[in-house]
Amino acid sequence: MDAKYGSMDTKLIHAGEISPRIEGAITLPVFQTSTYEFEEGLGYHDIPYIRMNNTPNHLALHQKLAALENAEAALVTASGMAAISTALLAVLSSGDHFLVQDCLYGGTHDFITQDLPSLNIAHSFIKGSAPETWKSKLRDTTRAFYVESLTNPLLEVTDLESVVAFCRENGLTAIIDNTFTTPVNFRPAEVGFDLSIHSCSKYLNGHSDIVGGAVIGSADLVKKVTRKLNHLGGSMDPHACFLLLRGLRTLALRVRCQNRNALQIARFLSQHPEVENVNYPGLENHPGHDRAARLFDGFGGMISFELKGGIEAVERFTDRLRLAIIAPSLGGIETLVTRPATTSHAGMSHEELKEAGITDTLVRISTGIEAPEDLIADFNQAISP
């Protein structure tokens, strides 16, 4: 970490930028070249080549991302799923077992339950906020613990301090998907996580125009993940690197605005007579509020809620929205609305959805950076019976 770029806002602009500037260019150009002139004495992993994740566009991002989370090193990948699958395959081998939070991003859930077992990598699901139950799931072969900072779509706050303490006590690698919180609101290395993972397709890029991922952590572990990525090939393209670096520069402005907008919208919804309940960790009555207030610098841009009128009311609501767009994904500058039961969690059976507390009528909002009064007016006209 470069101490001279002390604050988040300054690091976002200056950390990792190439010095001296190339031809004086203020913006790092796209190095649209797959290969580079041969240099004597370089090992396989050090040859400059896009798949080796070591071109100038990659290296600038690696330094900036590591600085943002006060970690030693970082790596960008072709997608969030490339980051997750490659990190897990770097940390776990055949015969290993790991603990996994029971509520997960759908792609991660499917990778762990459908792909890892055929590589003889076993898992046990645990409840992220019930640390007293974790010990009984430990095996001699348990090597890692995988959690998400906020669950999707119910926005539960995992007991992250207990996860780190449990990993220390039992020699496990602590891995967190930090996509929903972003480095602006939470920096996992500061509480002792070994690896932090992002889907950069969401807040880090922030403009809904690329897919990308990142793995951030200790130099040793990131090197291990990098070697695995060099082999598996899920590297980020230089043009996507360029867009991600550009998007990152406004991360703090965007996320702080999304924190503020989401809190206002959550308060509006929670006071509306047609609204049954609201899940947002910034609301004082949310079960994870105290933990979120202690760990996070902001409560994020994601909200979910249920209307009183059932399916009919939800359909009327989504039909009537004029500003908020009905679309999956999240973390961009525009406000998006989805029904998780029919989109992100459509792969789950009715029973699984019920068990997870995701009803047919649950609506998820990814808050954008529009004026909050305009968003609230849009939600208000769409909700009225």
Ligand X SMILES: *Cc1c(COP(=O)(O)O)cnc(C)c1O
Q: Exactly one of 107, 131, 309, 328 binds ligand X (CB under 6 A); which one?
A: 107
- How many whole angstroms separate alpha carbon 34 and alpha carbon 214? 21
Does 110 qualify as catalytic in the annotation?
A: no
Q: Exactly one of 31, 98, 105, 186 binds ligand X (CB under 6 A); which one?
A: 105
- How many whole angstroms separate alpha carbon 94 and alpha carbon 134? 22
Q: Exactly one of 96, 177, 194, 378 binds ligand X (CB under 6 A); which one?
A: 177
Tell whether residue 213 is a contact of ligand X (CB under 6 A): yes
**Environment class of 218 (CB within 10 Å of its CB; exposed 0-12, middle 13-18, buried 19+):** middle
Annotated active-site residue in 11, 64, 143, 202 = 202
Does 5 qualify as catalytic in the annotation?
A: no
Using the contact rule CB under 6 A, the part of the chain among 22-30, 63-71, 103-111, 371-379 near ligand X is 103-111
Residue whose CB is less far from ligand X, 148 or 378? 148
CA 11 to each of CA 29, 60, 61, 65, 305: distance values in angstroms, whole numbers, following the listed order: 19, 12, 12, 9, 35
Taking the complex as a whole, how short is the minimal distance between the CB of residue 134 and ligand X, in angstroms?
21
Q: How many CB atoms lie within 10 A of CB 22?
A: 12
Total binding residues for ligand X by CB under 6 A?
A: 16
Q: Exactly one of 101, 142, 173, 179 binds ligand X (CB under 6 A); which one?
A: 179
Tell whether residue 69 is a contact of ligand X (CB under 6 A): no
Tell whether residue 270 is a contact of ligand X (CB under 6 A): no
Helix 56-68 / helix 238-248 crossing angle, nearest 10 deg? 30
Does 105 qualify as catalytic in the annotation?
A: yes
Q: Exactly one of 53, 54, 57, 79 binds ligand X (CB under 6 A); which one?
A: 79
Residues 149-168 that bind ligand X (CB under 6 A): 152
Among residues 172, 222, 210, 269, the alpha carbon closest in space to that of 65 is found at 222
Among residues 269, 342, 335, the alpha carbon closest in space to that of 306 is found at 269
Using the contact rule CB under 6 A, the part of the chain among 26-34, 64-72, 120-128, 175-183 near ligand X is 175-183
Q: Exactly one of 103, 211, 263, 337 binds ligand X (CB under 6 A); which one?
A: 211
**Environment class of 191 (CB within 10 Å of its CB; exposed 0-12, middle 13-18, buried 19+):** middle
Annotated active-site residue in 177, 194, 203, 339 = 177
Residue whose CB is less far from ligand X, 204 or 269? 204
Buried b (16+ CB within 10 A) or exposed e, 141-161: ebbbbbbbbbbbbbbbbbbbe
For 215, the 3-state DSSP assignment is: strand
Does 146 qualify as catalytic in the annotation?
A: no
Q: Exactly one of 85, 86, 199, 367 binds ligand X (CB under 6 A); which one?
A: 199
User: Phi and psi for 162 in degrees, rounded to 5?
Assistant: -70, -35
Residue indicated by tokens 């076993």: 122
Residue whose CB is less far from ligand X, 69 or 148? 148
Tell whether residue 100 is a contact of ligand X (CB under 6 A): no
Among residues 159, 167, 158, the alpha carbon closest in space to that of 195 is found at 167
Q: What is the dihedral angle through the alpha carbons of 274, 257, 359, 178, rounded to the nearest 10 degrees?
A: -160
Using the contact rule CB under 6 A, the part of the chain among 77-85, 117-125, 164-172, 247-255 near ligand X is 77-85
Residue whose CB is less far from ligand X, 68 or 383? 68
Query: Which residues contact ligand X by CB under 6 A?
Result: 79-81, 105, 107-108, 148, 152, 177, 179-180, 199, 201-202, 211, 213
Residues taking part in catalysis: 51, 105, 177, 202
